Structure 1
Amino acid sequence: MIPVRNKKEIESLRLASLEVALALELASSMAKPGVSLLEIDRAVEDFMKSRNVKPAFKGLYGFPNAVCISLNEVVIHGIPTDYKLKEGDIVGFDTGSNLDGWFGDGAVTVGVGKISSSDEKLLASSFNTLNNVIDNIRAGMRFKEISSMLEQNIRQSGFVPLEGYCGHGIGRKPHDAPEIPNYATGPLNSGPKVKEGMIFCLEPMVCQKSGKPKILGDKWSVVSEDGLNTSHHEHTVAIVDGKAKILTQI
């Protein structure tokens, strides 16, 4: 069953999601040449704790850090290292919050200094896909229709979705029903419908030539088998007055 939240619960999730937005703003502001991935991870963790927020990802399924930091070809689940960012890198930040037992989740991919035009298009694909789809969600449509819209937007921008990973519900657990792939699976007129009060995360994961995933030796970092740069954006949204309202924003 997909939980349906009342106004008080939605407000609790909005506050948890706001903490994610603030953490991602901090991480993005630090994405400059010479700054290490571990520095950013530690700064975000310290920031969350200073606000009495638990970093939801630390220890989740055994993940060792507060932020998934995914560099260049890594699309999701990158583990922060002492690597220092360089001009032209692109880097994804994905983090979650636990505020009084309610969870938020969001992600952004940014460029470090001046990036290539091809990487600009890549980042625009996941960013625009996310926002275009959110703008078109309506109560009563099927989640499979959302997946189809995600795929269409990604492919129309010249890229392909990562296979085997998906968006998800969120609430009292960091990952809940439903699963929301970034590509269509099965008849679009089947499966659960979007209802007022549902809260879920959409996260287009964009690859260049192949959507086939490969997990690196650290057992976490996911790349495309094509080895090319990737991009990932994510928002937590709530269905309010029949439309999707972004919760992970300041």
Structure 2
Amino acid sequence: MAIAIRSKKEIALIEKSATIVAQALKLVQKHAVQGVSLIELDKIAEDYILSQNAKPAFKGLYGFPNTTCLSLNSVIIHGIPTETKLQNGDILGIDLGVECDGWFGDGAITIGIGEIDSHDEKLIACAKDVLYEAVDFCRAGLHFKELSHFLEQRIRQRGFVPLEDFCGHGIGRSPHEEPQILNYLECPNPKQGPKMREGMVFCIEPMICCAAGKPVVLEDGWSVTSQDGRNGSHYEHTVAIVNGKARILTHA
């Protein structure tokens, strides 16, 4: 399937949804303190999204039961909100999507609860910093595989590894569109395949493991951990190629 090229008006509509995503993430982060349950945070996100005359994009998507993916400690992505309460030293991935007027936005952050250890600080910084480095790297004419190669290099330079089999993606009229954007290069030559073009909109989302990138899906059928069983991190922005460069749409 071809990668969609969006008009300025369409990008503005996607940005509207993406801005609600960013604001919801900020709100959940504010309330994510010791003693608060994951299901309470999910309710806060859902109530806010609905208050903006928008819909939670994840709820019911492929059968997912909640508004947010809340991934605690060793869960890297797709964690289901439960009654589990946050504790000092936890790290929490918050991932959510929004549909507004038929257009979608998507974003994620990972945060520490109270005081976290220095290794987890570096783990979170890897996902966040690599994401922003990747945004700066993007430009019209760049192969998407070059972006995947760049992401892998930056992650490994920091002493971590990318999660395998999961990826960033195009977004617009659907929450997941072409292209798929892996966080690693799966072929010998990055200068092949589709290129970024003016008007393309997509999500970049580094998913970081400590030592082993092989994923393990837990018994709930959603939560994804690493084969190493250690903590992971995840950051994501929705971006558009505007004036030849990537512009972040998920801004609060």
C-alpha displacement at 1:226, in angstroms? 0.5
2:244 maps to 1:246: no
**Deviation digits for residues 151-171 of structure 1, max 9, x if unmatched?**
011000100000000000000
Write the letter of the residue equivalent to 1:62.
G
The CA distance in 1 between the partners of 2:141 and 2:45, in whole Å, is 37
Q: 4+ residue stretches of structure 1 with deviation over 3 A? A: none
Q: Which residue of 2 aligns with 1:21?
A: 22
Q: Which residue of 1 aligns with 2:163?
A: 162
Write the letter of the residue equivalent to 1:18.
T
Write the letter of the residue equivalent to 1:173.
S
C-alpha displacement at 1:136, in angstroms? 1.3
Q: Which residue of 2 aligns with 1:205?
A: 207
C-alpha displacement at 1:87, in angstroms? 0.3
Q: Which residue of 2 aligns with 1:100?
A: 101
The CA distance in 2 between the partners of 1:82 and 1:233, in whole Å, is 24
The CA distance in 2 between the partners of 1:136 and 1:89, in whole Å, is 31
Spell out the pairing of 1:83-232 with structure 2 (5 A cutoff). Answer: 83-186=84-187, 187-232=189-234
2:70 maps to 1:66: no
The CA distance in 1 between the partners of 2:62 and 2:121, in whole Å, is 32
* SS of match in other structure, 2:92: strand
C-alpha displacement at 1:233, in angstroms? 0.2
How many residues matched?
250
The CA distance in 1 between the partners of 2:69 and 2:86, in whole Å, is 15
The CA distance in 1 between the partners of 2:31 and 2:108, in whole Å, is 15
* TM-score, length-scaled by structure 2: 0.99
**Deviation digits for residues 29-56 of structure 1, max 9, x if unmatched?**
1110000000000011011111111000
Write the letter of the residue equivalent to 2:190.
L
The CA distance in 2 between the partners of 1:243 and 1:184, in whole Å, is 22
Write the letter of the residue equivalent to 2:241.
I
Q: Which residue of 2 aligns with 1:12?
A: 13
What are the ranges of 5 or more consecutive residues in structure 1 without an aligned counterpart? none
Write the letter of the residue equivalent to 2:142.
M
* SS of match in other structure, 1:130: helix
The CA distance in 1 between the partners of 2:50 and 2:12, in whole Å, is 21
What are the ranges of 5 or more consecutive residues in structure 2 without an aligned counterpart? none
C-alpha displacement at 1:126, in angstroms? 0.3
* SS of match in other structure, 1:75: strand
The CA distance in 1 between the partners of 2:32 and 2:45, in whole Å, is 12
* SS of match in other structure, 1:206: strand
Q: Which residue of 1 aligns with 2:55?
A: 54
